[in-house]
Structure 1
Amino acid sequence: MFAAYLAATLLAAALTGSAAVANLIGHDYPKSQADVVGVPYSWMLPLGTLLAAGALGLLAGFVVPTLGTLAAAGLVLYFVGAFAAHLRARDRHFGPWSLYFLSSLAALATGLLYH
């Protein structure tokens, strides 16, 4: 079970961390997604910071399991909010979103099962 927990958590942390960096450096893809869902660019830094905190929290969960569980749950809620924003904007392209959401959900599920 530890191997599944380790793999899911490292994958979710890597994906979320890369999304955080993209938001924080002002990459074109997060900006284009912000345009699609009607989110102002001023939200990019706070959203990137939330993603970075989630990725670091997942990694910290190897030392403090409760922190990892809370980080994974927070990321799941973050991506549920992103889903709602895309639905509100009538955007039905959920491929990238599903990758991030399912990796966060897998990290949460395996963390709960392992601990």
Structure 2
Amino acid sequence: MFIATAVLSVLLALAFTGAGFPKVSGKDEMAAQLARLGVPTGLMRVIGGLEIVGAVGLVVGLWVGVLGVAAALGLALLMAGAVATHIKARDTAKGTLPSLVLLVLSAVTASLALVAL
């Protein structure tokens, strides 16, 4: 069980780090994409920061189990909001799918980490 949790945690940490840095750094392409979805520009850096903090929490959670559960749950909630935002903006399925996949993987990681406590 720990190996599955560790693999998912590391993969999710990489994915969320990669998704968070363009938002934190204020990339114009990311700002344009989020504006198209109706997300205020001021939230872009907040969302990116939450993604990066969650990624760190997933990795640290391999040693401090409760933190891993909290990080995975937080990221799942963040992705639930992302999916809702995509749906509200009537985005395509192709545009919504990455957030949905990350939501499911974060929820599975949280479940596995919770069972391992």
TM-score surpassing 0.5? yes
Matched to 2:4, the amino acid is: A
Between the aligned residues of both structures, percent identity stands at 33
Matched to 1:35, the amino acid is: A
- Per the alignment, residue 112 of structure 1 pairs with 114
CA distance in 1, matches of 2:40, 2:32: 11
Q: Tell whether 2:18 aligns with 1:11.
A: no
CA distance in 2, matches of 1:32, 1:110: 36
- Per the alignment, residue 33 of structure 2 pairs with 33
Matched to 1:96, the amino acid is: P
The alignment's TM-score, normalised by the length of structure 1, stands at 0.88
Structure 2 SS opposite 1:62: coil
* Mapped contact 2:5–2:109 kept (Cα < 8 A): yes
Deviation of 1:95 (Å): 2.2
Q: CA RMSD in A?
A: 1.6
CA distance in 1, matches of 2:116, 2:2: 6
The alignment's TM-score, normalised by the length of structure 2, stands at 0.87
- Change in Cα spacing, 1:63 to 1:21, as seen in structure 2 (3 Å) is same
- Change in Cα spacing, 1:44 to 1:74, as seen in structure 2 (3 Å) is same
Gaps of 5+ in 2: none
- Change in Cα spacing, 1:32 to 1:101, as seen in structure 2 (3 Å) is farther
Aligned length, in residue pairs: 115
* Mapped contact 1:17–1:55 kept (Cα < 8 A): yes
* Mapped contact 1:79–1:100 kept (Cα < 8 A): yes
Higher relative CO (CA 8 A, sep ≥ 6), structure 1 or 2?
A: 1
